[in-house]
């Protein structure tokens, strides 16, 4: 990794002192906030305390009021409503949110989450016909629909109204829906980077107001924020602005353990039901279990878990999802081994992009495998498998390369595609595979180059004396939630002694000593097992890490999460970003 400083500019010392005193924080935290673009006390205060009152007004969203008024009217008229969701965490939490909100208001609704293996992503004509046969009059999509022109056209021909709520990039044409809510359709949208569950939340908040205007009691939508946080974090969207407010407050509800299903899921992860969780714990512990059901077929078990009030049933479902997640991990390891072998051959051939394929790979696993290939080889990666008579796949990108735009340039070889800049899906006929592979590689080579090494972005130098200061570590926690757009702070320490290396099941435990102050700290290195040989014991190293408070089993200790390391015998080079 190349080590770079996020911001080499230094804030005015007198301002840092003033801001720190005004906000009652340390000068180090004030300088850190300044370096991340928060250069007034007001901006810093809003960032550290993102209250719900800072959410954008519902009136600022184009089309939101009209869609809410329409749905409220349909509900009051007794029209039958159905929710069409998706099988990933974003889609499942969004579906649960809409169903729970409607139930709180006394309305029942049907729902449909497509089976990944049998139906694939998005709306389909068979599902639309099934819902129509059940008497559905209004169809609300969650995390899907913006590219499903023909199924929505069919629904309209059958007399159904359709409200599309989605956040994926639209194609050249929009579906003929009654109402479309997608922040990507409008410039200067107040909530441009919402996940699908976030779009659904704002629609339900607007419906809440519309029903109130028609004489019904409002329901408290705040408890739904646990679902919003869960889906938003799992979908890895930007955590600035509105998303930060939604997730920060949603994590409080996740921590409360009041939702029976989430409490059971925590227990299945060996966490206390009322334990406060950071964004990372949600992403790496809760989300994979919820995702496992949809990845291997149907997401219904995950949806039931989020909605059930039965603690016994919740425990059964949480254990089932944990079992499916273990099965998913085994399948992932098997596919990754074969995919990486193909990918390394392509790298040896000088390819700038990775495109790997095997007909028997599991379609629910290939997206994770694409992410692993990007981590290992630092190239945009497409992993493909066979589904029916065509080839389908998932792509993951690297910073600076828009994979969705690249697929648009390859459209003549594709049956369809959709997604975001960093992640997308596609389908093609088998005979187009070679042409797509060559074209995609040419686009990556011409616009991005080959295999740029990843960057380890640093926020500054830190001694172990400060790294183990609980007051400072609690201040860092105020910057949560961490994720895209709000990276967890990473610091570096020079020439620390590597006293011990202890392999564990999924990581390596290191014992590091800052000889300048004599403090010894424990560090965990994830996915660096092959990069830290036992021969490094007793040597001095430069380390890049995030210091944290580990509260496992109720005992608070300091733990370092190692991001990278370099031998101290080699001159340390840190560049400006």
Domain ranges of the chain: 2-9+455-576, 61-320, 350-447
What is d(CA 16, CA 60) in angstroms, rounded to the nearest whole number? 35
Residue range 58-72: mean pLDDT, rounded:
95
Give me the long-range contacts of 311-314 (CB less than 8 A, separation at least 24).
Answer: 311/260, 311/264, 314/260, 314/261, 314/263, 314/264
What is d(CA 542, CA 496) in angstroms, rounded to the nearest whole number? 6
What is d(CA 88, CA 362) in angstroms, rounded to the nearest whole number? 15
Q: What is the pLDDT of residue 534?
A: 84
Which one has a higher pLDDT value, 275 or 243? 243
Task: Note the pTM of the prediction, 2 decimals.
Answer: 0.89
Q: What is the pLDDT of residue 528?
A: 64
**417 CB contacts (<8 Å, ≥6 apart)?**
404, 407, 408, 411, 424, 425, 426, 427
Q: State the CATH architecture for 350-447.
A: Roll (3.10)
| Confidence at 484, pLDDT banded by 50, 70, 90 | confident
Look at strands 110-112 and 2-5 and give their pairing.
Answer: unpaired
- If you write DSSP's letter for every residue of 146-202 in order, what string do you get? TT-HHHHHHHHHTT-EEEEE--SPP-SS----SEEE-GGGSTT-SSTT--HHHHHHH
What's the chain's average pLDDT?
93
The CATH class given to the 61-320 domain equals: alpha beta
Q: What is the CA radius of gyration of the chain?
A: 25
Q: 466 is written with which tokens?
A: 């400060």
134-198-91-178 Cα dihedral, nearest 10 degrees = 40
What is d(CA 25, CA 425) in angstroms, rounded to the nearest whole number? 45
Q: What is the pLDDT of residue 35?
A: 87
| Confidence at 111, pLDDT banded by 50, 70, 90 | very high
**327 CB contacts (<8 Å, ≥6 apart)?**
292, 296
210 with 72: CB under 8 angstroms? yes
| Confidence at 118, pLDDT banded by 50, 70, 90 | confident
Fill in the DSSP letter of residue 111: E
492 with 545: CB under 8 angstroms? yes
428 with 444: CB under 8 angstroms? no
> Look-up: residue for tokens 């309209």?
156
Which one has a higher pLDDT value, 209 or 452? 209
Q: What is the pLDDT of residue 187?
A: 86
Q: What is the pLDDT of residue 361?
A: 96
Q: Please determine, for residue 194, whether its predicted confidence score (pLDDT) is greater than 80.
A: yes
What is d(CA 331, CA 12) in angstroms, rounded to the nearest whole number? 53
| Confidence at 357, pLDDT banded by 50, 70, 90 | very high
Fill in the DSSP letter of residue 483: B
Q: Please determine, for residue 382, whether its predicted confidence score (pLDDT) is greater than 70.
A: yes
Of the given ranges (148-152, 248-252, 522-526), which has the lowest mean pLDDT? 522-526
Q: How would you label 7-39 residue by residue, b for 16+ Cβ within 10 Å and e otherwise?
A: beeebeeeebeebbeebebbebbbbbbbbbebe
Report how far Cα 32 is from the mean position of its chain's Cα atoms: 24
> Look-up: residue for tokens 């559905």?
136
346 with 315: CB under 8 angstroms? no
> Do 2-9+455-576 and 61-320 have matching folds?
no
What is d(CA 62, CA 182) in angstroms, rounded to the nearest whole number? 9
Q: 497 is written with which tokens?
A: 């002694």
| Confidence at 130, pLDDT banded by 50, 70, 90 | very high
Angle at 499 between CA 493 and CA 505, to 5 degrees: 95
Q: What is the pLDDT of residue 529?
A: 56
Which one has a higher pLDDT value, 375 or 161? 161
Q: Please determine, for residue 294, whether its predicted confidence score (pLDDT) is greater than 90.
A: no
CATH hierarchy code of domain 2-9+455-576: 2.40.50.460
């Amino acid at each position: 990794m190349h080590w770079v400083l996020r911001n080499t500019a230094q804030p005015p010392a007198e301002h840092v002192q003033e801001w720190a005193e005004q906000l009652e924080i340390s000068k180090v935290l004030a300088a850190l906030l300044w370096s991340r673009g928060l250069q007034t006390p007001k901006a810093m205060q809003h960032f550290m305390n993102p209250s719900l009152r800072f959410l954008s007004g519902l009136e600022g969203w184009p089309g939101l009021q009209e869609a809410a008024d329409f749905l409220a009217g349909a509900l009051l008229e007794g029209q039958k409503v159905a929710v069409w969701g998706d099988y990933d965490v974003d889609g499942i939490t969004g579906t649960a949110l809409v169903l729970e909100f409607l139930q709180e208001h006394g309305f029942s609704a049907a729902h449909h989450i497509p089976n990944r293996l049998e139906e694939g992503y998005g709306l389909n004509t068979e599902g639309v016909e099934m819902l129509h046969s059940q008497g559905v009059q209004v169809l609300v999509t969650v995390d899907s629909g913006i590219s499903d022109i023909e199924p929505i056209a069919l629904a309209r021909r059958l007399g159904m109204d359709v409200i599309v709520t989605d956040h994926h990039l639209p194609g050249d044409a929009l579906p003929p829906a009654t109402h479309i809510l997608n922040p990507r359709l409008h410039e200067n949208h107040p909530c441009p980077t919402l996940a699908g569950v976030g779009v659904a939340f704002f629609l339900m908040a607007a419906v809440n107001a519309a029903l109130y205007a028609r004489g019904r009691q409002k329901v408290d939508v705040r408890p739904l924020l646990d679902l919003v946080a869960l889906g938003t974090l799992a979908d890895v969207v930007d955590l600035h602005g509105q998303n930060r407010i939604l997730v920060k407050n949603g994590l409080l509800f996740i921590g409360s353990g009041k939702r029976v299903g989430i409490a059971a899921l925590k227990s299945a992860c060996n966490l206390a039901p009322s334990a406060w969780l950071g964004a990372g714990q949600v992403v790496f512990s809760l989300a994979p279990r919820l995702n496992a059901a949809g990845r291997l077929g149907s997401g219904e078990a995950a949806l039931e878990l989020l909605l059930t009030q039965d603690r016994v049933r919740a425990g059964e479902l949480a254990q089932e999802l944990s079992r499916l997640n273990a099965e998913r991990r085994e399948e992932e390891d098997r596919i990754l081994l074969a995919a990486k072998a193909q990918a390394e051959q392509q790298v040896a051939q000088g390819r700038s992009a990775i495109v790997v394929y095997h007909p028997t790979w599991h379609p629910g696993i290939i997206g994770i495998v694409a992410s692993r290939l990007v981590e290992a080889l630092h190239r945009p990666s497409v992993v493909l498998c066979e589904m029916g008579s065509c080839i389908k796949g998932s792509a993951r990108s690297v910073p600076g390369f828009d994979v969705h735009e690249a697929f648009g340039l390859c459209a003549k070889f594709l049956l369809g595609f959709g997604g975001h800049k960093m992640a997308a899906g596609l389908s093609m006929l088998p005979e187009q595979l070679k042409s797509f592979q060559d074209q995609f590689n040419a686009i990556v080579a011409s616009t991005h180059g080959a295999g740029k090494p990843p960057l380890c972005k640093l926020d500054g130098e830190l001694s172990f004396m400060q790294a183990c200061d609980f007051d400072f570590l609690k201040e860092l926690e105020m910057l949560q939630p961490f994720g895209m757009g709000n990276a967890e702070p990473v610091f570096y320490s020079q020439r620390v002694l590597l006293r011990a290396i202890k392999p564990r099941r999924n990581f390596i435990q290191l014992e590091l000593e800052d000889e300048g102050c004599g403090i010894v700290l424990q560090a965990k290195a994830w996915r660096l097992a092959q990069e830290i040989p036992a021969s490094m014991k007793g040597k001095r190293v430069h380390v890049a890490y995030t210091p944290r408070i580990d509260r496992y089993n109720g005992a608070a200790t300091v733990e370092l999460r190692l991001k990278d390391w370099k031998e101290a015998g080699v001159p340390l080079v840190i560049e400006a970003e």
